[in-house]
Structure 1
Amino acid sequence: MTKHLITHLRHVDIAMPDLDRQVDFYRNLWGLTDVARDSGVHFLAAEGSPEQYIMRLRRDDLKRLDLVAFGAATPADVDELTSRLVKDGVTLVHEPRALDTPGGGYGVRFFDCDGRVVEVSADVGVRVHRRIEERESIPVRLSHFVVNSPTPEATVAWYVRHLGFRLTDSLALPHMGELMWFLRCNEWHHSFAVSRGPHVSFHHASFEMRGIDEYMRGTGRMLRNGVEKVWGPGRHKAGDNTFSYFLDPVGNTVEYTTELELVDEDTWHPTVFDATSEDVADQWGTANPMNEIVASRQFNDPDKGVFIAPPI
């Protein structure tokens, strides 16, 4: 039986020209904590998460995804993964080494098949975190990250083969086949997902809230502050999680969610859900309809950083 070397999602790192507006949004509206900064880079944590940070914001002339980071259990697992990647011809950004980001650790970076930078690390210091209180509408943790790919079948196959992700479920349209694949690396229904899109880009990042009340309070805060809502509030069928999608100041889609389904590795069998079913899109029937306008918001701009490693 193949050993699974990826344990969880750590953080998502993005860059943009207007750093100040991004930091203001994520810190003062979205509910993250600015824990470290250095020369145009901010590290933002979730108060309920032991991760040193769950999002890194960096000033750059281009809007881009810098990297997506996953955890491994031990440095030996990082080395074993690296050996597998090199054997399979995957291009490394850097060999396994000590990391100089908050919490340190030991990690490797490489390009996926679409040109995104992926980091896998172990031995990162645990952040002192706390219990999120009742009615406190700030993120507990980073829930999952979704990307767009014009060749999603190949992208899914790459993450399954090289990083050991498992397919949980997928969404399909009768006239075009499967359009979104939910991938897991632990008991959560999905930590990563791939969506069919016109170009390589950031689809959405999702943040787990304490419960339904906190999720709705956070959703209301975004609406009261005039943040553009993309879709929601509602409850998906695949994953059984709640959703409220909004656009951040540079046009990336971010989601408040809660109650993402947990799966049993030994008994789970993937389901292909019909995305045209109203119940699949939104079990509650409270969200605005999923249509071409909603989908196009999540296509985002083409990623300007494909096959270009970030400077830090």
Structure 2
Amino acid sequence: MIRYKKLGYVELTVTDLDRSTDFYRNVVGLEPAGDGPDGERRFRCSEDPYAVALHKADQPGFKRGGWMVEDERQFETLHRRLKDAGVAFEQLGAAECKARGLGRATRTVELNTGATLEFYLPPDGAKPQPFEPTIAKIQRLGHVVWTTPHYDKAIAFFRDVLNFAASDSIGDGITFFRAFPNPYHHGIGVGRGQRNQFHHLNFMVTEIDDVGRGLARFKVRNVPIVFGPGRHPASTSVFLYFLDPDGLTLEYSYGMEEFPEVDARAPRRLEPVPLNIDSWGSSRDPRMTAVGEIVPYKIAGAA
């Protein structure tokens, strides 16, 4: 059984680094954390060294995400499960780990969504770095969601190989997973779609007022608001979806159901009706999730 602590970072591709740096700092409320080894711009929203990295590319989308595991023992279980499933993986070298602020990491590609996934530990002796919120009281990086036409196979992989725990699904269209034993309702979501695509990235805020202030700030800055404000019945979160300058979908949310490690309730299957997406009844803008490639990556030696 693989045990996780949290979703630690998500790395995106954008077409204009300067424009996106201004947006993620002055509109979203992230704190710049310097450049990475490949020139990517890094940002913080917690005590971690970085939570979001932006890479320059021709197409905006999802490059990779990293989940912090509980301890060194988890790598043995992770590697065994991936081998048993016939899924290639690689362990990051010491130089890359050092350059990116990681202690140890393994990388694989989820073959159904095409998403590059990393599992890591911070360096030995790493200390939390104080984070002071600015225009938004962001609590943490919340979750990332992808869509794929290989929905059932992707669900099985995250559940049966990676030991993500299903919390709920809405019809046969999307399933929400938590990174067990992390208590929050979901750290990833996998949706059914016509092609492999990045759906959205979420930031959890500490006050419902942050959702309201964000709504006002986005209107002043002419940021497209594409869904909400509303409330997701599955997680109980109050949400607000908006677009970054490239059209990638981002989300602020406040509040979320938390699960105990032992004797957690069984996952539910909610009917795929509009009020099970938003109990407040708001409507989605068609621009929501219209943009978002998944950057391909090939593991060395993979077939």
- Whether TM-score is above 0.5 comes out as yes
The separation in 1 between residues aligned to 2:164 and 2:230, in whole angstroms, is 27
Q: Is 1:275 matched with 2:269?
A: no
The separation in 2 between residues aligned to 1:24 and 1:232, in whole angstroms, is 24
Conserved 8 A contact 1:169-1:182: yes
Number of corresponding residues: 290
SS at match of 1:297: coil
TM-score normalised to the size of structure 2?
Answer: 0.88
> Which is worse superposed, 76-85 or 187-196?
76-85
Conserved 8 A contact 1:199-1:302: no
TM-score normalised to the size of structure 1?
Answer: 0.86
Distance 1:308 1:19, change over 3 A: farther
Q: State the Cα distance separating 1:154 from its structure 2 match.
A: 1.0
Q: State the Cα distance separating 1:268 from its structure 2 match.
A: 0.8
The separation in 2 between residues aligned to 1:130 and 1:165, in whole angstroms, is 28
- Which structure 2 residues correspond to residues 34-53 of structure 1 after superposition, within 5 A? 34-38=32-36, 40-46=39-45, 49-53=46-50
Deviations 1:31-62 (A, max 9, x none): 0011111453111100xx22221111111234
> Which is worse superposed, 230-239 or 32-41?
32-41
Amino acid at match of 1:258: Y
Q: State the Cα distance separating 1:301 from its structure 2 match.
A: 4.2
Conserved 8 A contact 2:145-2:189: yes
Aligned partner (choices 52, 74, 77) of residue 80 of structure 1: 77
> 1:159 maps to which residue?
158
> 2:91 maps to which residue?
95
Aligned partner (choices 141, 151, 175) of residue 181 of structure 1: 175
The separation in 2 between residues aligned to 1:240 and 1:180, in whole angstroms, is 16
Distance 1:4 1:95, change over 3 A: closer
Q: State the Cα distance separating 1:139 from its structure 2 match.
A: 1.8
Distance 1:130 1:55, change over 3 A: closer
> 2:58 maps to which residue?
61
The separation in 2 between residues aligned to 1:132 and 1:28, in whole angstroms, is 12
> 1:175 maps to which residue?
none
The separation in 2 between residues aligned to 1:123 and 1:301, in whole angstroms, is 28
For structure 1, the residue ranges without an aligned partner over 5 or more in a row are 173-177
> 2:289 maps to which residue?
298
Conserved 8 A contact 1:145-1:206: yes
> 1:142 maps to which residue?
141
The separation in 2 between residues aligned to 1:71 and 1:235, in whole angstroms, is 28
> 2:190 maps to which residue?
194
Conserved 8 A contact 1:145-1:193: yes
Aligned partner (choices 17, 39, 45) of residue 19 of structure 1: 17
> 2:215 maps to which residue?
219
Distance 1:8 1:201, change over 3 A: same
Q: CA-atom RMSD, angstroms?
A: 2.1
Conserved 8 A contact 2:148-2:190: yes
Q: State the Cα distance separating 1:131 from its structure 2 match.
A: 6.3
The separation in 1 between residues aligned to 2:51 and 2:296, in whole angstroms, is 21
The separation in 2 between residues aligned to 1:21 and 1:15, in whole angstroms, is 13
Amino acid at match of 1:297: M
> 1:239 maps to which residue?
235
